[in-house]
Structure 1
Amino acid sequence: MLQIGILLPRQYKLLSLAAILDVFETVNKIYNQKDQLAPFEITLLYATKTTSAMEDALFGYPTKSISDNAALNLILVPSFTTDNLREAVEENHEYLPWLNQQYHTGAEIASFCTGAFLLGASGLLDGKIATTHVDACKEFAAAFPAVNLCPDKTVTRDGRMYTSGGATSTFHLLLHLLEIHCGIAIAVRAAKIFAIDMGRDKQAYFSTFQPSRNHHDDLVATAQQKIETSYHDTGTIEEMIKDIPSSRRNIVRRFKLVTGITPIEYLQQTRIEAAKKLLEQTGQQMNEIIFHSGYNDPKAFRKIFRKTVGMTPSEYREKFNVIK
């Protein structure tokens, strides 16, 4: 029987925890219905004793403090509820040496969505591939440069370390773990029970361009505003920011320092985000969408769209258009 420990960090997302418990409990029931031994024994783990109830059970599952040093085969880290991920990691620093100890005694460790930030802080992902929620990738990369981040991946595995992307990617990692520990037949059965598309391995098309505004550089803010109001013009970036009283070199340097990308990349991201909204919310012809997004070369538009989003404009419309 596989000994599974699920962390209960401060600010954990209940939905993430519920999904993990539901999938493993469902598989246990499948085995029980066949009069077979359930493959998983699940324990919920906490770092500091908070209430006497925590010492006994939570949601019907046994709980233990990590100070008990129980031997575990698989440790799961759910997602966080907060957008302040640095704070979440600081509040859960007690788990970091324990995670290292468990890993070095042979445990597998998997994180879901933004739970990857806790693994990143542990150092266990250094030099390994990983992913997290697509909209948290920029922050993750800045915080943990030693990790080989794969923003487009739904699931990653590097040795005994696993990570998943945002929200429903949790189920794809759970299926992957089921396939490893129970076989493909059980993984397929679980996929059918939970209506999970097993073929999805990318998450780029769930991303939303969210430009940074949390800065105090008025010159960069002006450049951002000009790009966002003039992106549909087919002019060059130089034309869009020509009235800003600064040299092009200075603007580019300060822009990238503040936003993490160049003005040209910012323009492309803004245009692609505009095209995505038109594909989602209108019935406009593709040529109209290309024009209204600021492009005049359909071939170039399709190339940039596919590179940025991970699928063609037509595939994106088929998946997300709300007026079908």
Structure 2
Amino acid sequence: MIQIGVLLTHQYKLLSLAAMLEVFETVNKLYQQSGETIPYNIQILYASEFPPTDAAPFFGHAIQPMQTAELQNLILIPSFTTEDMSQTIAANRVFIPWLAEQYQAGAEIASFCTGAFLLGATGLLNGRVATTHVDACPAFAALFPAVQLRPDKTVTQDGRLYTSGGATSLFHLLLHLIQLHCGKSMAIRTAKIFAIDMDRDKQSYFSTFQPSRNHSDLLVATAQQKIESSYHDKGTIEEMIKDIPSSRRNIVRRFKQVTGITPIEYLQQTRMEAAKKMLEQTDLQMTEVIINSGYNDLKAFRKVFRKTVGMTPSEYRDKFNITK
């Protein structure tokens, strides 16, 4: 039997935790109905330094301090409710050495959505592939530059470490784990029960470009403003920032230091976000979308769009357009 420890972290997202429990409970029930031994034993684990206000069974599962728990086969880290990940990591720092010890003893560890920040803080992901909520990827990359972050991926596995992207990507990681432990037929059966599309392996098209404004660098703010006000022009990035009284090298250095990306990447993402909104909210012809996004070459536009978003412009319109 596989021993699962679900962490009751500070500021955990209840929906994330409930989904984990519901899916693994369902697999156990399917085995019971077939007269077979259930594959999972589930425990809820908390840090003894910060006991929950109610130590009663949590959704019917045993709840106990992680420090007194036996070695886990699989540890699940739920998503967090907060956006301040540095503060969240600090609040949950007691879990970090314990997670490292469990991993060294042979446990698998899976993080869901922003739960990857706690896993990243252990150092176990250094040099390894991981993902998280697509909109949290810039913050993750800044905190954990040694991790091979894959913002486009719905699920990653690197050895005994697993991560998932945002929100419903959680279900895809759960199915992945079930397939590893119980076989593909059980994963398919579970997917049908929860109406999960098993083929989705990318999350890029759910992203929203959210430029950083929380800084006091006037030069960078000026460059941002110029890019955002003239992205639809066909000019190059050099033409857009030519009036800023500083060398291009200095602008690029400070811009990347503040925003995490270069000015040309900022321009590209601004144009792609504008294109996505037009594809979502209007019935403009594709040629008009391209021109209004600052491009004049259909082939170049499609190439950049597919690389950035993970699908073609036409596929994106079919999926998200609200005017139909």
Q: Which residue of 1 aligns with 2:289?
A: 289
Structure 1 residues 269 and 47: CA distance shift in structure 2, 3 A: same
For 2:53 and 2:118, how far apart are their aligned partners in 1? 26
Q: 1:42-89, CA deviations, whole angstroms, 9 ceiling, x for partnerless residues? A: 1100013434632x4112211010110312111100001100011111
Letter in 2 for 1:110: A
Q: Which residue of 1 aligns with 2:195?
A: 195
Q: Which residue of 2 aligns with 1:260?
A: 260
Q: 1:84-122, CA deviations, whole angstroms, 9 ceiling, x for partnerless residues? A: 011111111111111111111111110001101111111
- 1:305-316 alignment runs, 5 A limit: 305-316=305-316
Q: Which residue of 2 aligns with 1:273?
A: 273
* CA apart distance, 1:242: 2.7
For 2:69 and 2:34, how far apart are their aligned partners in 1? 33
Q: Which residue of 2 aligns with 1:86?
A: 86
For 1:102 and 1:250, how far apart are their aligned partners in 2? 46
For 1:183 and 1:230, how far apart are their aligned partners in 2? 53
For 2:125 and 2:246, how far apart are their aligned partners in 1? 41
* CA apart distance, 1:170: 0.3
Q: Which residue of 2 aligns with 1:168?
A: 168
1:158 paired to 2:163:
no
1:50 paired to 2:56:
no
In structure 1, list runs of 5 or more residues that go unmatched. none
Q: Which residue of 2 aligns with 1:31?
A: 31
Letter in 2 for 1:163: T
Letter in 1 for 2:133: H
For 2:280 and 2:251, how far apart are their aligned partners in 1? 33
Q: Is the 2:46–2:52 Cα contact (8 Å) retained in structure 1?
A: no
TM-score between the two structures when normalised by the length of structure 2: 0.96
For 1:143 and 1:251, how far apart are their aligned partners in 2? 23
Q: 1:122-157, CA deviations, whole angstroms, 9 ceiling, x for partnerless residues? A: 111122111111111111112112222111111111
Letter in 2 for 1:147: V
- 1:93-172 alignment runs, 5 A limit: 93-172=93-172
* CA apart distance, 1:298: 1.1
2:76 aligns to what SS in structure 1? strand
For 2:149 and 2:247, how far apart are their aligned partners in 1? 34
* CA apart distance, 1:252: 2.1
Letter in 2 for 1:271: R
* CA apart distance, 1:178: 0.4
Q: Which residue of 1 aligns with 2:3?
A: 3
For 2:116 and 2:270, how far apart are their aligned partners in 1? 28
In structure 2, list runs of 5 or more residues that go unmatched. none
Q: Is the 2:232–2:293 Cα contact (8 Å) retained in structure 1?
A: yes
Letter in 2 for 1:146: A
For 2:225 and 2:71, how far apart are their aligned partners in 1? 55
Q: Which residue of 1 aligns with 2:67?
A: 67
For 2:107 and 2:235, how far apart are their aligned partners in 1? 55
Q: Is the 2:113–2:163 Cα contact (8 Å) retained in structure 1?
A: yes
Structure 1 residues 51 and 254: CA distance shift in structure 2, 3 A: closer
Letter in 1 for 2:79: S
2:6 aligns to what SS in structure 1? strand
For 1:251 and 1:226, how far apart are their aligned partners in 2? 13
Letter in 2 for 1:194: F
CA-atom RMSD in angstroms: 1.3
For 2:51 and 2:69, how far apart are their aligned partners in 1? 18
Q: Is the 2:132–2:151 Cα contact (8 Å) retained in structure 1?
A: yes
1:210 paired to 2:213:
no
Letter in 2 for 1:44: I
For 1:233 and 1:37, how far apart are their aligned partners in 2? 65
